[in-house]
Every structure is written in C-alpha cells, then in structure tokens.
Amino acid sequence: MSEWLVGLEGTEAGNWLAVGLALLAAFTHAIFGALQKGRYSPWLMRGAMDFSYALMAAPFAFFVVPWPEPHMWPIFGGAFVIHIFYKLFQAMAYSRGAYTVVYPVVRGTGPLATVIAAGFVFGERFTLGQWLGVALLLGAIFGLAGYNLRRTHVDRHLLWHALGLAFITGLIVALYTTYDAYGIRATADPFTFLAWFFFIDGLVFPFISLRYYRLMPNKPPLWPLMRRGFFGGLIAFTSFGAVMLATRLDSVGEAAVLRETSTVFAALIGWLFLRETVGPVRGILMAIIAIGAVVVEFA
C-alpha cells in the first residue's frame, strides 16, 4: 500500500485522493474536538485518547512498518514538543470557553498561517481565485465564532481569555501542520512516520491527565472515560492520519484549508449532541465556509 500511495504523489489521482482525505480529516476532527469538549474535562479526555492511540500504534511501530531512518529521530523529537504545546493550549481553551466559540477560532487561525508557512517552506503558491476562497472560508469561520460569542451567556468572563488561548492554539496548528508535512515527506514510507508519530505523541499527556485526575475532588469512573478515550484514539488515527497523508500527496496549504470545513461539522455536532442551537445565520455562514473550500479547490 505504501508503494501505491507514494506512486500517486504529484498526480491528478493523488490530488483527488488528497481532497478526499482532507475532507475525511475535517469530519473526524470535528468529532475528535467534540469528544474532548464533551462529557469529561478536556484534561482527562485528552489523556485517555492519547493513551489509547499510543497503545494501538505501538505494535505497528515496532513490528509492522519499516524502521525509521536515522535522520527521522530529531524530526520526531520536534513533532513531540510542538504537539505537547498544542494539546496544553487546546485543553486550556476548551476548559474556559464554549465549544462553538473556541473551535472556529482555532480552526480559522490555523489555515491562513499554514498557507503562508507552506509558501516559505515548500514554495507553494495560491492563485488569486484560491485566495478569494480562503477569504470566504476564513471570514465565515470567524463570523461564526463572533456570532456564537454574542449569543453565549455562560462564563462570559472567561470567554475572552479562552479566545486568546484559541488564537495561540490556531498558530500552533499551523506550525504542526507544516512541520508534520515536512516530517511525513522526509521518510520513504509515510506509514513509518504515522505509526511512530502516534506512538511517541501519546506518551506524555496521559501522565498529565493522571495528575489532574488525582487532584479532582469528585473523580469520574475510569472505565467509561477509557472506553470513550479508545473511541477517540480510533478517530485520531483517521483525522490526523488522513490530513498528514493528504499533505504528502498534494499541496499542504490546500489540505489545511479543506480540513477547516470541520467547523461546519463541529456546528452540526454541537447542535445535535451538545444542545447548542444552529439557526439561519449559522446555516448561512456554514454554507459560505463550504463554498470557500470549493473555490480553493477549483479556482
């Protein structure tokens, strides 16, 4: 499968597969974010998910995929540090603000910074039409965040702090997207990068979550938490794995922008499962997000 995938790099078929993978990543990332913001504290949920996907990735890393080349170990080290900061800031943002306010800011900041970074790192250039699509998509995403902010009345004293943390998280998203795209292109077998990335990435946050759990006055039962974490781990493989493969097959900037249609899925999830209203204004903004993504791909 690795040879087939690598053979698609730079081809029209590879481009369309990258589009499909980026949209799959958008849908599953919205589920991943909702799981982290849902029933349990983000600090607990992240640890449960990380523990699950590290455990699942270990046998593939050690016994299935080719061993990483020597130059990959410093790259894995850099990815490890960047993702720790991403998780810390994301957990702080989610624990202070409403999901439908915080999530669009995180996902709206990331793609613009990624497109700019990909231009410097990989020499990618967007056409004028594609920049129009980016403007439509990001304008609607931030419009969605602003509209949700206006209508949110719970913990408003924490919301501005949450938005600042969300903005920083978005910048870290851009950093890890660009860096991981470099990492997955630096090894001969993309699945070597994925298996070792998930194994290494999941090693630290479970200990942070365990400390948080021990300090809680009212501790939730562990079995339901770990069951939810296992499901989140499977979603993480699909979400992060799909967008990483998309950046190997085609443009990093396009994959980053298309992935941010996750805000549409996030709003629907917030409405269906978190009891957060959508309404006509949000519906229009979500339609503009989708239109912007289509313009970016076809301009």
For position 78, what pLDDT does the model report? 95
For position 163, what pLDDT does the model report? 82
For position 74, what pLDDT does the model report? 96
**Distance separating alpha carbons of residues 141 and 137, to the nearest angstrom:** 6
pLDDT band of residue 287 (cuts 50, 70, 90) is confident
Q: Which of 75-79, 113-117, 147-151, 209-213 has the lowest mean pLDDT?
A: 147-151
Gyration radius of the chain's alpha carbons: 19
Query: Once rounded to an integer, what is the mean pLDDT over residues 245-255?
Result: 85
For position 6, what pLDDT does the model report? 73
DSSP state at residue 189 = -
For position 125, what pLDDT does the model report? 81
Q: What percent of the chain has pLDDT over 70?
A: 91
Q: What is the pTM of this model?
A: 0.84
Nearest one of 266, 281, 299 to 30, comparing CA atoms: 266
Provide the mean pLDDT of the chain: 84
Owning domain of residue 172: 2-298
pLDDT band of residue 277 (cuts 50, 70, 90) is low
For position 38, what pLDDT does the model report? 59
pLDDT band of residue 55 (cuts 50, 70, 90) is very high
Amino acid in the structure at residue 251: S
- pLDDT of 107 above 80: no
What's the half-sphere exposure (Cβ side, CA atoms, 13 Å) at 149?
Answer: 18
- pLDDT of 280 above 70: yes
Q: Give the tens place of pLDDT for each residue, 4-36.
A: 877 877 788 878 888 888 888 888 887 876 676
- pLDDT of 47 above 80: yes
Q: Which residue has 């920049």 as its token pair?
A: 131
For position 183, what pLDDT does the model report? 94
Q: Which residue has the higher pLDDT, 85 or 123?
A: 85
Q: Which of 9-23, 146-160, 194-208 has the lowest mean pLDDT?
A: 146-160
DSSP state at residue 126 = -
- CA angle 149–267–26, rounded 5-degree value: 120
Into how many domains does the chain fold? Answer: 1
Q: Residue 86 has which token pair?
A: 């991403």
